[in-house]
Chain A
Amino acid sequence: MLQIKNLHASIEGNEILKGINLEVNKGEIHAIMGPNGSGKSTLASVLAGRDLFDITDGEILYEGKNLLEMAPEERAREGIFLGFQYPVEIPGVSMMNFLKTAVNEQRKHRGQDPMKSSDFLKMMREKKDLVEIDSNLTNRSVNEGFSGGEKKRNEIFQMAMLDPQLSILDETDSGLDIDALKIVAHGVNKLKSPENATIVITHYQRLLNYIIPDKVHVLYGGQIVRSGDKDLAIELEEKGYDWLRKETTNQ
């Protein structure tokens, strides 16, 4: 589904990603771990199409298509979803209007008619239950005045509404208490199918107790320095990132 080959990306002349290689297949959950500043969020942003970064080398193929040539909205319509580390507050744009526009744009892309209001409301109700999101939140402006936990749950809610092929969750777990974390993880697990894939970006191993990854990668200094199965996460948790830091420096 997704192939990242030798990806180099920089911002204002500073190289952040220094040759990333990664392959994600349908039905898989990948976890990308790493210390702060290792390039995790940059990778997520580049996949979603943020134009702050210059791609200096490499390529990304998504379902065989050149992802880097696509605008963010095209990527979204092709089934890519980014759960933001810091969801943006947009005062004055109602959640309802926002979601309706997003869902209908996706339907348009698939050649479907806009959703009937009653069907849309029904879908909203169902998906809201999945992440136990407060009904009132959808009557408000996008993320405005939401607590940290509400914002993260709102990301998973949007993911549920848009039903993506490839979800990239950027530190969706950070700042969450254990109950909120369980709710978010439950949402992700519920949405998992043999047809879609998820990349979970996290700083902490804790999330991986609730979302079991097929593969774990450690990103350090802009490169994937180690890949393994879920046990790698546990090893990391025990030994800390310093363990890898030393190993990498020694190489």
Chain B
Amino acid sequence: MSIDAQSIDLKDRFADFFYKNLETLKDGLPEHINEHREKAIQSFQKQGIPNKKVEAYKYTDLNPAFEQKYRTYLRPKSIDFDLNDIFHCDVPALDTHVVLLLNGWYYEAKTPQKKLPNGVIITSLREAANEYPDLVKKHYNQYADPEKESLTALNTAFAQDGVFIYVPRGKTLDKPVQVINLLMDEEDGMSQHRNLFIMEENSHSQVVVCDHTLSQRNFLTNSVTEVYAGQNAQMDFVRIQNEHNGSTQLSNFYLNQERDSRVMANTISLHGGLIRNNYNLRLNGENCENSTMGLYLTDRGQHIDSYVHMDHAYPHCRSNQLFKGVLDDYATGAFNGRILVRQDAQKTEAYQANNNILLTDDAKMNSKPQLEIYADDVKCSHGGTSGQLNGDAMFYLRSRGIPLKEAQLLLMYAFAHEVIGEINITPLQDRIHELVEKRLRGELSRCNYCQMHCGDAGKN
């Protein structure tokens, strides 16, 4: 096997950096977090930064992004102003528990009530690890698999903070938790936060995650989110990715569902330089329901790669994956979706579709749906399409006097609607409709009143 000298360098650079700063990384965190670090960095060193030789990364080489120099935030960066002054989420009628992460660190000044009367906890991972050690220990790094994903290994080695949400048995979150990831610095920066959401038996919860870049520097985020949905738990998860073209966003989502649980996850990627979304979903009990959807709108040199691993381990579960994208200019994308139906998972229903509209000849999409089925009584389907807007529909609209541009917009908007329509948080759905329309019109897709314009930044 040939050895790529550059990536060896890079691996070792991260390992060196790790060992030099190990005490800082461990500082303030209990053993049950820190004990995973060294094993993780070794695992990372074995795997290296993914490049196109790795099957799951066939269309996305992460080395160029990692080779850049970044400030790493081993301690929270102090800022001498109130973030609330420059950032205000602008989704009307959306009432949420807002939690801010600044460059991967929990922003205390914006902390809501940490413990709600019904026992719900919303706080930093750091605080949770110290305050609720048993709870964190039971779930932390139990669903993420550093051995199989080097980005997760890297995150596990370096993670120091993130968001912790706990909804106890039988309880309901009174309103959605909104996690806002802000990236802001006068230098290029890299952050690796780690979220842990524990949704116990019979709980109901909604979580919204928004990603924003607030300054024009290049940023790399390598995050891991672990979600545990207990028996009969119901959870809606919506993520809105809206970062500028100088950003690299690597997101590793691990979900474990127990029997009778239902999780709907919906990711809307409005803007970003390089986005890689890894979804590892395990249906770990009978009668689970999972819907994982994504909508991505890319243009210019943007690249988005979605990777889904849906693991049907028990009978009578239903899963539905729908990923749709509109690619303009010379944007590129990849979709790699794998459905694994284990031998015991009889009566599985698993569906997967990836549909793309390529607006130019230069836009490219690589789609690779995969089924791996070991049970014999299942209903599964997968499929992908990539093409232009429907010519018959275009002509129909134009023959009624609707101009070409407007007809294209109507059709793209209709195409996107199938994903947006599944968002269960109504004010958010309405707002996303608006944002998507603006994005498709090529207008600013800024979704807050902040002074920095993510959408603008991408247009420079």
Q: Say whether A and B bind each other.
A: yes
Chain A residues at the B interface, C-beta cutoff of 8 Å: 48-51, 71-73, 75-77, 81-82, 84, 87-88, 90-93, 97-98, 101-102, 105-106, 109, 141-142, 158, 162
Query: Is B393 a contact partner of A90 (Cβ separation < 8 A)?
Result: yes
Chain A residues near B418 (CB-CB < 8 A): 91-92
A/B interface sample: 25 pairs, CB < 8 A: A49-B398, A50-B395, A51-B395, A73-B400, A73-B403, A73-B404, A84-B399, A88-B390, A88-B392, A88-B395, A88-B396, A90-B397, A92-B413, A92-B415, A92-B417, A93-B397, A93-B414, A98-B397, A98-B410, A101-B402, A101-B406, A101-B410, A105-B402, A106-B401, A158-B400
Q: Say yes or no: is B98 at the interface (Cβ < 8 Å to chain A).
A: no
| Pair A109/B411 contact, Cβ less than 8 Å | no
Kindly list chain A residues whose C-beta atoms are within 8 Å of the C-beta of B417: 92
Residue from A73, A105, A109, A142 having most chain B Cβ neighbours under 10 A: A73
Q: In the assembled complex, how far is the CB of residue B214 from the closest CB belonging to chain A, in whole angstroms?
A: 33
Known: A101-B406, A162-B401. 16 other contacts (CB 8 A): A48-B395, A50-B395, A73-B399, A73-B400, A73-B401, A76-B400, A81-B399, A84-B396, A88-B393, A90-B396, A91-B418, A98-B402, A101-B402, A102-B397, A105-B401, A106-B401
Report whether A93 and B411 are in contact in the complex, using a CB–CB cutoff of 8 Å: yes
Check A91–B414 contact: CB distance below 8 A. Answer: yes
Q: Are A90 and B399 in contact (CB under 8 A)?
A: no
Inter-chain contacts of B413 with A (CB < 8 A): 92-93
A91 CA to B402 CA in the complex, in Å?
Answer: 17
**Cross-chain contact of B398 among A71, A93, A97 (Cβ < 8 A):** A71
Q: Which parts of B141-155 form the interface with A (CB within 8 Å)?
A: none
Interface centre among B398, B406, B418 (most CB of A within 10 A): B398
CB proximity to A under 8 Å, residues B403-460? 403-404, 406-407, 410-411, 413-415, 417-418
**A90 CA / B404 CA spacing, docked (Å):** 16
CB pair B395 A90 closer than 8 Å: no
Query: Is A73 within 8 A of B392, CB to CB?
Result: no
Residues of A within 8 A of B396 (CB): 84, 87-88, 90, 142
Chain A residues whose C-beta falls within 8 Å of the C-beta of B398 in the assembled complex: 49, 71-73, 76
- Chain B interface (Cβ within 8 Å of chain A)? 390, 392-393, 395-404, 406-407, 410-411, 413-415, 417-418
A48 with B400: CB separation less than 8 A: no
* CB-defined contacts of B403 to chain A, threshold 8 Å: 73, 105
Interface of B, secondary structure class, is helix
User: A93–B402 contact, CB under 8 A?
Assistant: no
CA gap between A158 and B398 in the complex, in Å:
13
Q: A88-B393, A92-B414, A93-B414 are in contact. Are A162 and B404 (CB under 8 A)?
A: no
Determine the chain B residues whose CB is within 8 A of the CB of A91 once the complex forms.
Answer: 414, 418
Contact A76 B399 (CB under 8 A): yes
Contacts of B407 in A (CB 8 A): 73
A84–B401 CA distance with the chains assembled, in angstroms:
15
Given A88-B392, A90-B414, A92-B414, do A109 and B397 touch, yes or no (CB 8 Å)? no
Residues in B neighbouring A102, C-beta threshold 8 A: 397, 400-402
- Chain A nearest CB: distance from B455 CB in Å? 24
* B399: chain A residues within 8 A (beta carbon): 48-49, 72-73, 75-76, 81-82, 84
- Taking the nearest CB of chain A, how far is it from the CB of B244, in angstroms? 29
Contact of B400 among A71, A92, A109, A162 (CB under 8 A): A162
B395, B406, B411, B415: the one contacting A72 at CB < 8 Å is B395
CA distance A71 to B399 in the complex (A): 9
Which residues of chain B come closer than 8 Å to A48, judged between CB atoms?
A: 395, 399
Q: Give every chain B residue within 8 A of A81 (Cβ-Cβ).
A: 399
Complexed CA–CA distance, A72 and B397 (Å): 9
Distance between Cα atoms of A92 and B413 in the complex (Å): 8
Determine the chain B residues whose CB is within 8 A of the CB of A49 once the complex forms. 395, 398-399
A97, B395: Cβ atoms under 8 Å?
A: no
Chain B minimum-CB-distance residue to A84: B396
**Which 4 A-B pairs have CB atoms at the shortest separation, nearest pair first?**
A92-B414, A76-B401, A102-B400, A72-B398
Among residues of A, the one whose C-beta sits closest to the C-beta of B412 is A92
The answer to whether B404 touches A71, judged by C-beta atoms less than 8 angstroms apart, is yes
Report the nearest B residue to A99, measured CB to CB. Answer: B400
- Smallest distance from the beta carbon of A86 to chain B beta carbons, Å? 8
How far, in whole Å, are A71 and B402 apart by their CA atoms in the complex?
A: 11
Q: How far is the CB of A60 from chain B (nearest CB, A)?
A: 16
Residues in A neighbouring B415, C-beta threshold 8 A: 92
Nearest B residue (CB) for A142? B396
Residues of B within 8 A of A72 (CB): 395, 398-399
Nearest chain B residue, comparing its CB with the CB of A90: B393
Closest to B418 in A: A92
Chain A residues whose C-beta falls within 8 Å of the C-beta of B400 in the assembled complex: 73, 76, 98, 102, 158, 162
> Is A73 a contact of B395 with CB atoms below 8 Å?
no
